[in-house]
């Protein structure tokens, strides 16, 4: 699984609507409304690198309300939650 973190500048008057549009895109797992230098952060999870171009360039960048994006590809995840699920046998 390839993960990309997409920082998004959105039209201020349309942030909730833009977030909802982005969350509906296949490959976008989460969208966060945030404080700071950007308005939204989308987490994209796909199987192939080519899918990042399809999701980010083909859909996120063209979504109504999106002004600008800055995409970061994750190399490795460091998370207690991810580690637990990776080594879980599926027994509860």
- How much is the pLDDT for 77? 84
Any domain includes 92: no
Within a domain: 21: yes
The tokens for 5 are 């973190």
* Confidence (pTM): 0.84
Per-residue confidence at 83, pLDDT binned at 50, 70, 90?
low
Q: Going edge to edge, which strands form the sheet with 40-46?
A: 28-33, 40-46, 2-10, 66-73
The secondary element (H helix, E strand) that includes residue 46 is: strand 40-46
32, part of any domain: yes
Q: Show the domain range for 31.
A: 2-86
How far, in Å, CA of 1 to CA of 47, rounded? 5
CATH number of the domain at 66, please.
Answer: 3.30.70.920
Give the count of domains, the chain: 1
- In-domain check, residue 56: yes
Region for residue 10 given its phi and psi (left: phi exceeds 0; alpha: psi -120 to 50; beta: otherwise): beta
| 91 located within any domain | no
pLDDT tier for residue 90 given thresholds of 50, 70 and 90 = low
């Amino acid at each position: 699984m390839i993960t990309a973190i997409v920082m998004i500048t959105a039209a201020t008057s349309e942030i909730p609507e833009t977030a909802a549009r982005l969350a509906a895109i296949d490959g976008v797992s989460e969208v966060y409304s945030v404080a700071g230098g950007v308005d939204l952060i989308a987490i994209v999870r796909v199987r192939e690198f080519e899918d990042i171009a399809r999701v980010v360039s083909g859909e996120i960048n063209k979504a109504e309300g999106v002004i600008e994006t800055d995409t970061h590809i994750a190399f490795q995840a460091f998370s207690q939650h991810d580690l637990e699920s990776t080594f879980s046998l599926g027994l509860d």
